[in-house]
């Protein structure tokens, strides 16, 4: 008799403790994958409820159980006549059959229906994962790759630039290369002198005289040190001799030669007076530089005429 009494008490306890789920769950969306947000709805009978029909409430966050297989975000209960509709919003963490933990509603344990979570492998038509592959880049070599790309473009650009320079050098004749070398030399010297206005005047005129001698050495003898020790008077005589040479006298550019010889004499006369006689008052340094440039243009025009 006592055993029957204990069994009856147990049935009453279960009736009061566990609520009966009266319908299969409806899963929205129908195909749910791991990591998706889904909602399962079902009905359950809650005995002796204190809420009226049509009342809807959310369970407190602290009353919502959690498991390692799913995260339950929300549990909504809507009371109806004779039962209650329960909606559970969750995110599954595993595929296959998923059993959500029991939900406590008014001290009654409600067991949600089992839901099926689809697998990404099934959606792609793959039954087994692909075998692991080695990475395309060895870890730690990303910066080496970027550096190699930059170095490649730098070397390619440098080769393109040098090839253009080399091609120009091959096309040009030896005479034109000598003209370019002389012009570049004199331009560098005159630019340096034009930036040194604060230099002592004696040093400035001395440097101009040396630069002009070296240029004339390149022009007449092919060596910049050919007339370094020559005086202005000697260079003037050299210019006169060059102009009076029979080959020059009959040259089509004789007038330019005559003009160049006079410019050489005048330039060295002004430079020597300023250097040794102290007669630099009224002498324009920029004017002398312009005169040297004009002399260079005249001489190189003659040289270019010979080349053509």
Interhelix angle 285-307/174-194, nearest 10 degrees: 180
Q: Going by C-beta distance under 8 Å and a sequence separation of 6 or more, which residues neighbour residue 215?
A: 182, 185, 186, 189, 224, 296
Closest CA to 187 of 98, 87, 296: 296
pLDDT digits (tens, 9 = 90+) for 84-121: 889 999 999 988 888 889 988 888 888 899 999 887 66
Structure token digits, residue 73: 């975000």
Q: What are phi and psi of 78, to 5 degrees?
A: -125, 120
Residue 135: pLDDT above 80? no
pLDDT in tens, 5-25: 444 444 444 444 455 566 678
pLDDT class for 283, splitting at 50, 70, 90?
A: confident
- Counting Cβ atoms within 10 Å, is residue 272 exposed (0-12), middle (13-18) or buried (19+)? middle
| Boundaries of every domain in the chain | 17-123, 143-172, 173-307
pLDDT of 303 higher than 60: yes
User: Nearest-5° angle of CA 137, CA 143, CA 147?
Assistant: 110
Distance in angstroms (rounded) separating the CA atoms of residues 72 and 51: 24
What is the Cα–Cα distance from 237 to 241, expressed in whole angstroms? 6
How far is residue 297's CA from residue 290's CA, in Å, rounded to a whole number? 11
pLDDT tier, 55 (very low <50, low <70, confident <90, very high otherwise) = confident
Q: Give the Cα separation of 67 and 92 in Å (integer).
A: 10
Domain 17-123 fold: Immunoglobulin-like (2.60.40)
Q: How far is CA 183 from the centre of its chain?
A: 40
């Amino acid at each position: 008799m006592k055993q029957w009494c204990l069994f009856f008490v147990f049935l009453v306890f279960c009736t009061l403790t566990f609520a009966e789920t009266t319908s299969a769950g409806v899963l929205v969306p129908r195909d749910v994958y791991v990591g998706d947000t889904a909602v399962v709805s079902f009905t359950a009978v809650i005995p002796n409820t204190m809420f009226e029909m049509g009342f809807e409430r959310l369970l407190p966050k602290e009353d919502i159980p959690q498991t390692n297989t799913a995260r339950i975000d929300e549990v909504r209960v809507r009371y109806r006549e004779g039962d209650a509709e329960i909606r559970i919003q969750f995110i599954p963490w595993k595929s296959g059959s998923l059993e959500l933990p029991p939900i406590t509603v008014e001290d009654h344990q409600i067991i949600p229906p089992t839901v099926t979570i689809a697998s990404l492998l099934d959606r792609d038509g793959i039954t087994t994962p692909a075998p692991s592959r080695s990475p395309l880049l060895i870890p730690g070599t990303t910066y080496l790759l970027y550096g190699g790309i930059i170095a490649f473009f730098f070397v390619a650009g440098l080769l393109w630039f040098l090839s253009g320079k080399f091609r120009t050098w091959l096309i040009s004749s030896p005479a034109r290369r000598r003209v370019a070398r002389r012009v570049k030399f004199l331009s560098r010297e005159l630019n340096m002198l034009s930036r040194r206005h604060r230099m002592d005047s004696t040093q400035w005129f001395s440097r101009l005289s040396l630069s002009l001698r070296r240029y004339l050495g390149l022009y007449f003898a092919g060596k910049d040190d050919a007339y370094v020790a020559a005086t202005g008077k000697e260079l003037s005589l050299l210019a006169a001799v060059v102009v009076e040479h029979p080959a020059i006298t009959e040259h089509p550019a004789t007038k330019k030669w005559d003009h160049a010889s006079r410019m050489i004499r005048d330039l060295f006369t002004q430079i020597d007076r300023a250097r040794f006689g102290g007669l630099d008052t009224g002498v324009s340094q920029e004017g002398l530089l312009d005169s040297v440039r004009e002399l260079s243009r005249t001489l190189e025009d003659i040289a270019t005429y010979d080349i053509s």
